[in-house]
Amino acid sequence: MTIGVLALQGSVAEHIKMIKSVNKKIDAVAVKTVDELAAVDALIIPGGESTTLRRLLNEFNLLIPIKERILAGMPVWGTCAGLILLANRVEGEYPCLSVLDVDVKRNAYGRHSESFVGEGDFDGMYINMVFIRAPFITRVGDNVTVLAECNDRPVAVRQGNVLATVFHPEMTRDNRVHKYFCGMIDAKV
Ligand code: GLN
């Protein structure tokens, strides 16, 4: 089984390292082309800057192929900027992939200097959560499950094969959220 990490911008190496630490049988590779996308069983869209990622997705002709794979059931996980790209609605902007029924507001936790580490329960596991210029999830659709909250706000959500976290598990030493994502693929293959 191979998990791809979209490698246009953002925390790519960190995700690859984490996935490789979960299980020797699961490989993780960088994805930059349509052919590389076709070769993976699941995809992580990392954090970074969603406006830049969106532009690069178009430039590399990856937007439609990724959307088609997600709609066909490929497990996908967006962290922070990745969540913004997956969301159905982004305050003040056009949505990008529109495969997750949530509304988001970019940079709502404040500036880079206001980045922080929170903590909370993620699907029964107590974890640290790293927030870096993170968005708020301001609405959650009926078909979306909230997997984690922090300071009374939803910070991890799932809609079928789509997982999204406001925070960055790849910036910690705890690989349990990566393990959870691997479980979403196991359940499929
Ligand atoms: N602030 C970024 C954006 O709006 C997201 C930051 C992140 O991914 N850590 O795109």
Residue 114 is predicted with a pLDDT of 86
pLDDT at 187: 73
pLDDT > 70 in the chain, percent = 99
Is 80 a pocket residue for ligand 1 (Cβ < 6 Å)? Answer: yes
Tell me how far apart the alpha carbons of residues 28 and 39 are, in angstroms, rounded to a whole number.
11
Give the tokens for residue 175: 């690989």
| 136-140 vs 162-165, strand pairing mode | unpaired
Q: Which run of H or of E encompasses 148?
A: strand 145-150
- What distance in Å separates the CA atoms of residue 145 and residue 129, rounded to the nearest whole number? 18
Query: Out of 14, 15, 96, 170, which one is annotated catalytic?
Result: 170
For 14, how many CA atoms within 13 A lie in the half-sphere containing its CB?
A: 16
Residue ranges, the chain, pLDDT below 70: 188-189
Q: Choose, from 80, 96, 150, 182, the residue flagged as catalytic.
A: 80
Does residue 170 carry a catalytic annotation? Answer: yes
Distance of CA 44 from the midpoint of ligand 1 (Å): 15
Residue 96 known to be catalytic = no
Q: ∠ CA(21), CA(25), CA(31), 5° rounding?
A: 75
Sheet holding 136-140, edge to edge: 87-90, 100-105, 136-140
Active site residue 80: yes
Select from 85, 107, 115 the residue to mutate for testing ligand 1; criterion: most ligand atoms less than 8 Å from CB: 107
Q: Give the number of C-alpha atoms closer than 13 A to the C-alpha of residue 63, restricted to the C-beta side.
A: 15
pLDDT score, position 189: 53
